[in-house]
A and B are shown apart, each in its own frame.
Chain A
Amino acid sequence: MLEARLQKRYARSSESAGFELNVQFQAGAGTTVLFGPSGSGKSLTLELIAGFVKPDAGRILLNDRLLFDSGTAVFLAPQKRECGYLFQKPALFPHMTLRENLAFAATKLPKLERYRKVNQLLESFRLTELAGRKPNEVSGGQRQRCSIARSLVVEPAMLLLDEPTVGLDTTLRHEFYEILARVHNEFSVPVLLVTHDLEEAFLLADQMLVLLDGKIAQAGTPREILKQPASAGVANLLGLFNLLPAEIKQLDPGNNRSKLRWNAIELEGPYYPARLLGDKVTVCVRRDEIAVSPKMGKAEKGELVLSLEASAETARTALLHFAGGLIVEIPLEEFAENRHHSEWTLRFPTTTLRIL
């Protein structure tokens, strides 16, 4: 279990706008993902935990071992932290063969134990036949495997991964995810992984920490975060939501109903406790939760008709841009059949309208 409270400040200079990181979190067994946009302080958080950079203030505890404490002036060198670290590139020592890379990491082990451990890891990561080659003589995926194997030689208490799949193609990415799952199952090493890729975060995270502007904006499981983003910033970052500025026009706790007005359009949501009539709120609704179909005949009650302004297609879905900046996501096939329609009927299921 990792418990961290970290503060680090970089003053404004002629070259940078200045930055302040102030985070507090726990990371237990399994994979914890630090998710956030570029410049939010994700990598810096990892560097502070690894001991590459010294925090201004705070405290880091890893399995009840104190790695850093500004109060008592404890600052363990990276060598003593037992944190394996994987960088954006494999960082294998280019002048050593793959076997030498692993053996070098095992320098402190007795000779026989070193030999056994290196062979076992080479075998386990399917590198035995390539062991005599230099890093530049093997493929990107093999380098990545060797890099993970090397970090496990010293039996780290935690693995810190700084965007390890940046620059890898889809196949190598999935190979990496499989390896990570094996690291998890066979070696039981907790992982703290930094990414700005939402799919990767959802695929790997047991626990997710959303970092925005040097602060933790939300913590929870990926499902929890997706279900209820804590703020407009988090919802924007996830990139799956419409954020609609609205006003509460009616509150009906008896029937668990409220009415909201957005852009002169009336929307029906559930009852919002602790809100008052006339409150200006931001309504958050997922793009794929809005029911949409081409307009056929007259709109029924609770439906609104909007004209399609633009559309964009991804590999699996189509993004429909409507008047007022509303974006709806539907399966690609569904859109392909109806792309010629200009008027569409939209319906917001009551429970999908969350207030931030």
Chain B
Amino acid sequence: MDTFPLILSLEVACAATAISLVIALLAAWALSFLDFRGKDLLDAALTLPLVLPPTVLGYYLLIVIGRESWFGQAWESLTGSPLVFTPKAAVIAAIVHSAPLLTKYLRAAIESVDPIYVRAARSLGLAEWTIFLRVVLPLCQRPVIAAAVLSFARSLGDFGVTIMIAGNIPGKTQTLSVAIYDAVESGNGGLARTLVLIVSAIGLLVVWLSNRLNRQQAMGA
């Protein structure tokens, strides 16, 4: 069996989770702690990828990072190669797929911290960002890790956006989900079943781990 799709998917999911975590932490912090004009709009915009069809998201991304876009052209002139239909595009697809849900989970985790600690820190003159990093995050680290683990699983499973912007190039951009689709299309039932079992096993493991982390936090461990 060709292990490339599995390895690529794991690499893409790792990179996407790391980047999503930074984006989602920033977004969750802004939505929970800051009071600014357009907060509701930002919240809605960040939720949008959860409700839009993957093809629509893929289409938007093609407009933004495609070879014809100013971003795509700038990228190409800087790096010498296009962004779309590369593993990097698969990472972007996975981020778009996982970051919105991660933001929701992180916001819930952050808001589960007793606000008395935040108030106490504010009365001590500490900056909002310091309070977030040194008080809030350490007090909700388990749900944050649990959310990151779930986000990893979600990144692993993207299909629609990936096929739109990274394509299905075996040995280059073919992730696990795309490879399953490819195997079914080409009548390779054995390979499809193996890949499906692998994805299911990883998913089960990840959800179990995430639940366990959340339960330990709830027990105050």
Q: Is the CB of A95 within 8 A of B124?
A: no
Q: Is the CB of B117 within 8 A of A93?
A: yes
Q: Is the CB of A93 within 8 A of B135?
A: yes
B: interface residue count bin: 10 to 19
CB of B134 within 8 A of chain A? yes
Beyond A79-B127, A104-B134, whether A95 also contacts B122 by CB under 8 A is no
Within 8 A of A (CB), among B109-140: 116-117, 119-128, 130, 134-135, 138-139
Q: Is the CB of B122 within 8 A of A87?
A: no
Q: In the complex, A83 Cα to B135 Cα: how many Å?
A: 20
Determine how close the nearest CB of chain A comes to the CB of B132; give it in whole angstroms.
13
Residues of the B chain whose Cβ atoms lie less than 8 Å from the Cβ of A151: 123-124
Q: Is the CB of A78 within 8 A of B123?
A: yes
Residues of the B chain whose Cβ atoms lie less than 8 Å from the Cβ of A91: 116-117, 119-120
Of all chain B residues, the one with the shortest Cβ separation from A80 is: B125
Q: Is the CB of A89 within 8 A of B119?
A: no
Instruction: Name the residue among A51, A93, A160 with the largest chain B CB count within 10 angstroms.
Output: A93
Annotate B42-81 by CB proximity to A: 1 below 8 A, 0 otherwise. Answer: 0000000000000000000000000000000000000000
Q: In the complex, A94 Cα to B217 Cα: how many Å?
A: 14
Residues of the B chain whose Cβ atoms lie less than 8 Å from the Cβ of A80: 125
Partner of B126, one of A87, A95, A107: A107
Residues of the A chain whose Cβ atoms lie less than 8 Å from the Cβ of B128: 79
CB of A3 within 8 A of chain B? no
Residues of the B chain whose Cβ atoms lie less than 8 Å from the Cβ of A176: none
Of all chain B residues, the one with the shortest Cβ separation from A79 is: B125
Instruction: Name the residue among B125, B135, B139 with the largest chain A CB count within 10 angstroms.
Output: B125
How many of A's residues come within 8 Å of B, CB to CB?
27
Q: Is the CB of B125 within 8 A of A95?
A: no
Q: Is the CB of A84 within 8 A of B135?
A: no
Residues of the B chain whose Cβ atoms lie less than 8 Å from the Cβ of A89: 116
Residues of the B chain whose Cβ atoms lie less than 8 Å from the Cβ of A82: 125
Q: Is the CB of A94 within 8 A of B124?
A: no
Annotate A262-294 by CB proximity to B: 1 below 8 A, 0 otherwise. Answer: 000000000000000000000000000000000
Residues of the A chain whose Cβ atoms lie less than 8 Å from the Cβ of B121: 93
CB of A346 within 8 A of chain B? no
Determine how close the nearest CB of chain A comes to the CB of B113; give it in whole angstroms.
10
Q: Is the CB of B122 within 8 A of A79?
A: yes
Q: Is the CB of B123 within 8 A of A50?
A: yes
Of all chain A residues, the one with the shortest Cβ separation from B114 is: A91
Residues of the A chain whose Cβ atoms lie less than 8 Å from the Cβ of B116: 87, 89, 91
CB of A150 within 8 A of chain B? yes
Of all chain A residues, the one with the shortest Cβ separation from B141 is: A95
Q: Is the CB of A52 within 8 A of B122?
A: yes
Number of A-B contacts (CB under 8 A): 55
CB of A298 within 8 A of chain B? no
Determine how close the nearest CB of chain B comes to the CB of A243; give it in whole angstroms.
39
Q: In the complex, A87 Cα to B126 Cα: how many Å?
A: 17
Determine how close the nearest CB of chain B comes to the CB of A242; give it in whole angstroms.
41
Q: In the complex, A160 Cα to B123 Cα: how many Å?
A: 10
Of all chain A residues, the one with the shortest Cβ separation from B138 is: A95
Residues of the A chain whose Cβ atoms lie less than 8 Å from the Cβ of B127: 79
Annotate A215-252 by CB proximity to B: 1 below 8 A, 0 otherwise. Answer: 00000000000000000000000000000000000000
Of all chain B residues, the one with the shortest Cβ separation from A88 is: B116
CB of A153 within 8 A of chain B? yes
Instruction: Name the residue among B120, B122, B123, B124 with the largest chain A CB count within 10 angstroms.
Output: B123
Determine how close the nearest CB of chain A comes to the CB of B128; give it in whole angstroms.
8
Q: Is the CB of A52 within 8 A of B119?
A: yes
Residues of the A chain whose Cβ atoms lie less than 8 Å from the Cβ of B138: 95
Q: Is the CB of A94 within 8 A of B139?
A: yes
Q: Is the CB of B119 within 8 A of A85?
A: yes
Beyond A108-B125, A151-B124, whether A78 also contacts B139 by CB under 8 A is no
CB of A323 within 8 A of chain B? no
Within 8 A of A (CB), among B82-122: 116-117, 119-122
CB of A105 within 8 A of chain B? yes
Q: In the complex, A105 Cα to B126 Cα: how many Å?
A: 7
Residues of the B chain whose Cβ atoms lie less than 8 Å from the Cβ of A93: 117, 120-121, 135, 139
Of all chain B residues, the one with the shortest Cβ separation from A153 is: B124
Of all chain B residues, the one with the shortest Cβ separation from A90 is: B120
Partner of A79, one of B117, B126, B134, B135: B126
Q: In the complex, A90 Cα to B24 Cα: how many Å?
A: 31
Of all chain B residues, the one with the shortest Cβ separation from A150 is: B124
4 A-B pairs with the lowest CB-CB distances in the bound complex, closest first: A85-B123, A78-B122, A91-B120, A105-B124
10 further A-B pairs in the complex, CB-CB below 8 A; given A79-B125, A93-B139: A79-B128, A83-B123, A87-B120, A91-B119, A93-B120, A104-B124, A107-B130, A150-B124, A151-B124, A153-B124
A-B contacts, 11 listed (Cβ < 8 Å): A52-B122, A77-B122, A78-B122, A79-B127, A87-B120, A89-B116, A91-B117, A105-B126, A107-B126, A150-B124, A151-B124
